[in-house]
Amino acid sequence: MTQIYIYTIIAFIIGFILAWIIRTLAMEKIKKLLKSTQGYLESETLKKETLQKENIQVHQKKQIAEMECGKKLEQVLELNKMLDSDILLLQKSNEETEALLAEGQPAIHLLKMQLIEANNTIARYKAQQQQTNK
């Protein structure tokens, strides 16, 4: 009977040791998995923060580009208005010049045509100068 108690106690101790080893191995596996998951979460958090910063930068660049486009649009609209008024003035001047020719004043007509050509030449030089300065 004492042998049965001894074998029972030894079996209990061996079972307890085996259970302890299995539990320890399972705990180590869980700890490794937890560290891996924490590393993954930290990596994803860093990626998210990086993407948010990049989003902010892209948004700022977009706003800057929109402001620049708005300024350029205003400049183009102003230039367009100025060109429209210049066209109207040229049409009026042409009508006056044609009226002079029709009235029989070819000398004044010739002078006016030379003046127009000189103004055109000046305008071309200014445009060329602006293009070379850019």
pLDDT tens-digit series, residues 64-74: 999 999 999 99
pLDDT tens-digit series, residues 5-63: 899 999 999 999 999 999 999 999 999 999 999 999 999 999 999 999 999 999 999 99
Determine contact, residues 109/101, Cβ cutoff 8 Å: yes
pLDDT score for 23: 96
pLDDT score for 134: 61
Q: 79 or 14: which carries more pLDDT confidence?
A: 14
Q: How many Å is the maximal CA-CA distance in the chain?
A: 150
In the predicted model, what is the mean pLDDT of residues 81-90? 84
Distance CA 90, CA 31 (A): 87
Cα distances (angstroms) measured from residue 43 to each of 12, 20, 48, 65, 82: 46, 34, 9, 33, 58
* Local confidence band at 86 (pLDDT 50, 70, 90 cut-offs): confident
Q: Which of 6-15, 98-107, 108-117, 123-132 has the lowest mean pLDDT?
A: 98-107
Q: 59 or 103: which carries more pLDDT confidence?
A: 59
